[in-house]
Structure 1
Amino acid sequence: MKYLVLLLVLLLGIGTWRSRRAAQGSAPPPRASAQDMPACAHCGVHIPQAEAWTLGNQAYCCAEHRQLGPG
């Protein structure tokens, strides 16, 4: 008899957990949009394209490396 009660409590808990999960939505959280991550031509550090210092088709992580050029 106690195993039957334990089974009922377990099933009730699983049912409650699944219903709350379904109410919240099971879709994964939104991710940040992907963007290009070029490597610095001097040191090789990858940086977001929006933050890169560019000279021609080369990307650099900072103004100093842009002045120094490819390492």
Structure 2
Amino acid sequence: MKYLIVLVVVLVGIWFWRNNRRAALREKAQSRAAAKPVAGPHQHATEVVECAVCSLHLPRIDALPGGRGMYCSEAHRRQAEK
């Protein structure tokens, strides 16, 4: 009889331990998911263009538009459009 009681106590202890472990793993996964940035419609990839003179790749925001393409500097734009 005493072995049966010991067995029940051990099984209940294992059950509590497993439930606490699962809850801790679930919280850890939720905190990781909350910490990761989620790509959404507000995050856009930067478009890269090539300078028509020197073939330098740069973001479209920094490029200078010209009649024959995009340029990395004013000097290259003037050089290409002579």
1:57 is aligned to 68
Unaligned segments of structure 2, at least 5 residues: 1-9
Match of 1:43 among 54, 64, 70: 54
Partner SS state of residue 59, structure 1: strand
With over 3 angstroms needed to count, the CA separation of the structure-2 counterparts of 1:16 and 1:38, relative to structure 1, is closer
Q: Which residue of 1 aligns with 2:38?
A: 28
Which amino acid counterpart does residue 13 of structure 1 have in structure 2? A
Question: What's the Cα RMSD here?
Answer: 3.6
> How many equivalent pairs are there?
68
Which 5+ residue runs of structure 1 have no aligned equivalent?
Answer: none
Letter in 2 for 1:28: V
Counterpart residue number, 1:10: 21
- How far is the alpha carbon of 1:46 from its aligned partner? 1.9
Q: Using structure 2 for the length normalisation, give the TM-score.
A: 0.51
In structure 2, distance between residues paired with 1:64 and 1:58: 14
Moved over 6 A (4+): none
